[in-house]
């Protein structure tokens, strides 16, 4: 058993666990008892892999980017999660969880969403399976993210506004939890990242681990080795990074680099650089590292990229950070925007601003000519065009 994977108690080192109200215990316990045996069934695996292939479009290519490679003096490979159906890695997880929900006999799916990306990935698989879908979203986010709200509605989802508190992601999460408590028998709650109470972080990491599984095979074909020197991924809650790292965790010669959003700067007060500023505490049902005030209030995060605008990280990342297995760094809004433009002009690929944070870190590294570097391109930039237009005055 890897020391970087979850133990039988639901912990990564001293992080993880299931800190939930009593009323949620039966729901979470049902999942905990069943998720591994279901995921490991051959019929489940066959259905999951068939949908990843024929519906999502996997395997996603591992692309050796020639002009980026020339710029950095190393072999820079992009793992193209941006080419997946719906434009990012999130669909890998929602496909897995909808099959699990079906297998558990659930008829109703709930989810929470901030920017709407996870809401869209959830509404998509609910349409695919003809299941009822309710997405909780902060009232302010509903206004800010109109195109994603429209996508969810077109796919038949009901989008419910959370009107309490700051009317954003955390309030939507509270509403979703309240719904789940009230509907324990027929409802499955699809969480969108490697966060939440055990078993969610491990379950989501397993569904995203297809990213590193394919990468190993593809790298071996292209270079003769399945161990890259460096692997880079951006971290909001940490699901694309968890999937990109998964099969390299015990291969200690592979350097794992996680890139968080520094926003306007780590010390600006407008940031989402969790490991730089955070302290240990409990958020969304698990013990991890989060940005909080001295008296334990969660600090509002900020990043130009909605997907990285989260005050914590999943418990596995907290452990990879604390144990030193992973290197956790941060990139500002400006650095990320420049990196997004650079990839567009060097390779003709417009990345999601989240993914651009990972690309930006290449500027701060030094390489040997023979180094193999894999960057997880978690999503495409179509959703971010407004932001790019404003920033670059296009």
Ligand X SMILES: *Cc1c(COP(=O)(O)O)cnc(C)c1O
Q: Enumerate binding residues for ligand X (CB under 6 A).
A: 88, 90, 117, 193, 234-240, 307-308, 352, 354-355, 378-379
What is the C-alpha separation between 289 and 314, in angstroms, rounded?
Answer: 8
345 in helix, strand or coil? helix
DSSP string, 148-166: HHHHHHHTTPEEEEE-STT
Straight-line distance from the first to the last Cα atom of the chain, in angstroms, rounded to the nearest whole number: 51
What is the DSSP secondary structure assignment for residue 38, as one 8-state letter? H
Q: How far is CA 168 from CA 6, 45, 135, 162, in A?
A: 30, 35, 13, 7
In which element (H, E) is residue 76 found? strand 75-80
Residues 6 or more apart whose Cβ sits within 8 Å of residue 126: 98, 109, 132, 133, 155, 156, 157
Smallest distance, ligand X to C-beta of residue 121, A:
8
Q: Contact 337/368 with Cβ under 8 angstroms?
A: no
CB of 233 to ligand X, least distance (A): 7
> How many alpha carbons lie under 13 Å from residue 342 in its C-beta half-sphere?
21
Catalytic residue among 69, 81, 378, 383: 378
Annotated catalytic, 40? no
Tokens at residue 66, please?
């020639």
Question: Do the Cβ atoms of 317 and 326 come closer than 8 Å?
Answer: yes
Between residues 98 and 234, which has the closer beta carbon with respect to ligand X? 234
Of the two residues 219 and 359, which places its CB atom closer to ligand X in the complex? 359
Pick the catalytic residue: 60, 79, 81, 112?
A: 112
Nearer to ligand X, 20 or 272 (CB): 272
Instruction: Name the active-site residue from 60, 79, 81, 90.
Output: 90
Partnered with residue 233 across adjacent β-strands are 258
Residue with Cβ nearer ligand X (113 or 292): 113
State the minimum distance, in angstroms, from the CB of residue 58 to ligand X: 16
Nearest approach, Cβ of residue 88 and ligand X (Å)? 4
Q: Nearest approach, Cβ of 208 to ligand X (angstroms)?
A: 8
- Nearer Cβ to ligand X, position 10 or 238? 238
Is residue 378 annotated as a catalytic residue, yes or no?
A: yes
Task: Enumerate the active-site residues.
Answer: 90, 112, 378
């Amino acid at each position: 058993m890897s020391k970087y994977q979850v133990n039988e108690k639901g912990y990564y080192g001293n992080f993880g666990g299931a800190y939930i109200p009593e009323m949620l215990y039966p729901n979470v316990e049902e999942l905990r008892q069943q998720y591994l045996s279901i995921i490991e069934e051959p019929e489940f695996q066959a259905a999951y892999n068939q949908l990843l292939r024929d519906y999502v479009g996997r395997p996603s290519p591992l692309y050796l980017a020639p002009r980026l490679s020339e710029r950095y003096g190393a072999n820079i490979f992009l793992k193209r999660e941006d080419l997946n159906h719906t434009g990012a890695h999130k669909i890998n997880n929602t496909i897995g969880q909808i099959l699990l929900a079906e297998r558990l006999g659930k008829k109703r799916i709930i989810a929470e969403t901030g920017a709407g990306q996870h809401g869209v990935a959830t509404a998509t698989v609910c349409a695919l399976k003809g299941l009822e879908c309710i997405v909780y979203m902060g009232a302010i986010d509903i206004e800010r993210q109109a195109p994603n709200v429209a996508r969810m509605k077109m796919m038949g989802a009901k989008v419910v506004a959370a009107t309490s508190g700051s009317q954003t992601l955390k309030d939507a999460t509270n509403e979703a939890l309240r719904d789940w408590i009230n509907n324990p028998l027929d409802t499955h709650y699809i969480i969108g990242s490697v966060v939440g109470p055990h078993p969610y972080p491990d379950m989501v990491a397993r569904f995203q681990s297809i990213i590193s599984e394919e990468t190993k095979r593809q790298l071996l074909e292209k270079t003769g080795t399945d161990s890259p020197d460096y692997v880079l991924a951006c971290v909001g809650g940490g699901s694309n990074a968890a999937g990109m790292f998964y099969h390299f965790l015990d291969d200690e010669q592979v350097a794992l680099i996680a890139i968080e959003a520094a926003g306007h700067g780590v010390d600006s007060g407008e940031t989402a650089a969790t490991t730089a500023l955070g302290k240990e505490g409990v958020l969304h049902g698990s013990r991890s590292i989060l940005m909080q005030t001295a008296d334990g209030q969660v600090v509002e995060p900020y990043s130009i990229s909605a997907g990285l605008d989260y005050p914590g990280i999943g418990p596995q990342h907290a452990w990879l950070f604390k144990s030193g297995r992973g290197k956790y760094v941060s990139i500002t809004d400006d650095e990320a925007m420049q990196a997004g433009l650079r990839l567009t002009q060097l390779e003709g690929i417009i990345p999601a601003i989240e993914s651009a944070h990972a690309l930006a870190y290449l500027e701060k590294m030094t390489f040997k000519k023979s180094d193999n570097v894999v960057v997880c391109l978690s999503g495409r930039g179509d959703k971010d065009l407004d932001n790019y237009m404003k920033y670059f005055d296009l």
